[in-house]
């Protein structure tokens, strides 16, 4: 028969355990964010989207942002491992190299692609409907947009015959992107010259070589240092196109890709569902639903280009 002292000790132990469980439950979740582009706007949008879902930084959620600027991809594995050591509850990974590094660092922590290009071909997921493992999120249809970039540049410069694809040698997404560029180029009788660089320090030599080879336009892979690429393109008088809107804002001639605001909204929804208990393997991967064409008219003027009326009418935004 239980005596009074045993009852009190037992009750005290249960109370202590209950307090520990309650404290653990009250601990705000940590969201690790692995960025490859230093965009304050992206961070602000993410905070706003999650606030709309009830997550307020400093109250019931904590962010751990880690930035690897384009061209410094070698740091990604270390920063991904750091987020794992911090025991974050979910990792948001911007672009394929970041998602690949996060997946290599953990098989337990959920990873949300924000976005990642062609995740099936690069081995991040098994399929869009059933991603499997610990990775889900948004699949950027960027390789197909590489083909669209060829068409847009040909429309901008109908006389062009030699175009370069400036690729990130360390990004596995470079392969499917180049395949789509080559496919589109064959349809319009364009020569494509692949130019692979491993980082920022190789860009100057790459643009100098493209000038010597009489390249007339350049498609820039977005995981490269896009701002530096845009600067060098102007210096060498080369029209450029890339996927993210910020490329045109940085001085590139054109950008055609997914709507960044809509991507952040999609990503925030994944985070919310995961923090409420959903497993990444059970969350189908989405694709962007909104795209935009951005043209930098100041750059066009500097390059002595007249923007065709067809592109003027189709553009969603202009940079002046």
In the predicted model, is pLDDT for residue 12 greater than 70?
no
In the predicted model, is pLDDT for residue 14 greater than 50?
yes
Report, as an integer, the average pLDDT of 277-304. 95
Burial class of residue 27 in the structure, from the number of CB atoms within 10 Å of its CB (0-12 exposed, 13-18 middle, 19+ buried): exposed
In the predicted model, is pLDDT for residue 21 greater than 50?
no
Report, as an integer, the average pLDDT of 101-116. 96
Angle between helices 76-85 and 95-105 (to 10 degrees): 50
Band the pLDDT of 36: cuts 50, 70, 90. confident
User: How far is it, in rounded angstroms, from Cα 6 to Cα 19?
Assistant: 20
Q: Is the bond preceding 216 in cis, omega lying within 30 degrees of 0? A: no
CB 97, CB 171: distance < 8 Å = yes
**Cα radius of gyration rounded to whole Å, the chain:** 23
In the predicted model, is pLDDT for residue 5 greater than 60?
no
Report, as an integer, the average pLDDT of 259-277. 93
What is the SS3 assignment for 317?
strand
> What totals of helices (H) and strands (E) does the chain contain, helices first?
12, 12
Burial class of residue 21 in the structure, from the number of CB atoms within 10 Å of its CB (0-12 exposed, 13-18 middle, 19+ buried): exposed
In the predicted model, is pLDDT for residue 15 greater than 70?
no
Q: What is the pLDDT of residue 249?
A: 94
Q: What is the pLDDT of residues 39-64, one digit of tens each?
A: 677 889 999 999 999 999 999 999 99
Strands of the sheet with 111-117, listed across from one edge: 62-67, 30-35, 90-93, 111-117, 135-140
Report, as an integer, the average pLDDT of 114-129. 90
Structural element, H or E, at residue 192? strand 191-197
In the predicted model, is pLDDT for residue 138 greater than 90?
yes
Pick the residue with more confidence: 32 or 174?
32
Biggest CA pair distance of the chain: 97
In the predicted model, is pLDDT for residue 117 greater than 90?
no
Pick the residue with more confidence: 235 or 201?
235
Most confident region among 128-142, 284-298, 300-314 by mean pLDDT = 300-314
Look over the chain and give the mean of its residue pLDDT values, rounded to a whole number: 89
- First CA to last CA across the chain, in angstroms? 85
Q: What is the pLDDT of residue 6?
A: 54
Q: What is the pLDDT of residue 25?
A: 52
User: How far is it, in rounded angstroms, from Cα 83 to Cα 293?
Assistant: 35
In the predicted model, is pLDDT for residue 35 greater than 80?
yes
CB 195, CB 167: distance < 8 Å = yes
CB 263, CB 76: distance < 8 Å = no
Q: Which of 265, 261, 283 is nearest to 273 (CA)?
A: 283
At the topology level, CATH places domain 143-258+292-319 in Rossmann fold (3.40.50)
Q: What is the pLDDT of residue 4?
A: 54
Band the pLDDT of 17: cuts 50, 70, 90. very low
Angle between helices 260-275 and 40-52 (to 10 degrees): 50
Q: What is the pLDDT of residues 162-201, one digit of tens each?
A: 999 999 998 888 898 999 999 999 999 899 999 999 888 8
Tokens at residue 90, please?
Answer: 């979910």
87: left (phi over 0), alpha (psi -120 to 50) or beta: left
In the predicted model, is pLDDT for residue 7 greater than 60?
no
In the predicted model, is pLDDT for residue 11 greater than 80?
no
At the topology level, CATH places domain 7-140+259-289 in Rossmann fold (3.40.50)
Q: What is the pLDDT of residue 20?
A: 41
User: In this structure, what DSSP letter does residue 131 have?
Assistant: -
- Domain parsing of the chain, residue ranges: 7-140+259-289, 143-258+292-319
CB 224, CB 204: distance < 8 Å = no
Q: What is the pLDDT of residue 301?
A: 98
Does 143-258+292-319 match 7-140+259-289 at the fold level?
yes
């Amino acid at each position: 028969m239980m005596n009074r002292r045993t009852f009190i000790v037992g009750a005290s132990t249960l109370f202590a355990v209950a307090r520990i469980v309650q404290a653990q439950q009250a601990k705000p979740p940590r969201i690790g964010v692995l960025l490859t582009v230093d965009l304050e706007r992206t961070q602000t949008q993410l905070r706003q989207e999650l606030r709309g879902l009830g997550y307020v930084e400093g109250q019931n959620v904590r962010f751990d942002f880690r930035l690897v600027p384009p061209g410094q991809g070698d740091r990604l594995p270390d920063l991904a491992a750091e987020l794992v050591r911090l025991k974050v509850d979910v990792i948001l990974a911007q672009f394929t190299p970041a998602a690949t590094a996060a997946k290599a660092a953990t098989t337990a922590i959920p990873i949300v692609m924000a976005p990642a290009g062609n995740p099936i071909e690069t081995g991040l997921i098994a399929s869009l409907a059933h991603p499997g493992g610990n990775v889900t999120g948004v699949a950027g249809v960027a390789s197909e947009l590489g083909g669209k970039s060829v068409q847009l540049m040909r429309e901008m410069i109908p006389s062009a015959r030699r175009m370069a694809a400036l690729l990130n040698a360390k990004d596995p997404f470079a392969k499917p992107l180049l395949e789509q560029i080559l496919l589109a180029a064959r349809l319009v009788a364009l020569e494509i010259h692949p130019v692979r660089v491993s980082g920022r320090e190789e860009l100057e030599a790459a643009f100098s070589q493209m000038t010597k080879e009489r390249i007339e336009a350049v498609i820039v892979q977005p995981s490269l240092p896009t701002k530096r690429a845009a600067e060098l393109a102007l210096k060498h008088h080369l029209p450029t196109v890339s996927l993210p809107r910020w490329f045109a804002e940085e001085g590139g001639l054109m950008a055609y890709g997914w709507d960044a605001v809509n991507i952040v909204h999609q990503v925030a929804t994944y985070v919310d569902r995961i923090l409420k208990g959903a497993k990444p393997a059970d969350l189908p991967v989405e694709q962007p639903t909104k795209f935009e064409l951005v043209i930098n008219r100041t750059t066009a003027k500097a390059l002595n280009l007249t923007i065709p009326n067809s592109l003027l009418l189709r553009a969603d935004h202009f940079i002046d």
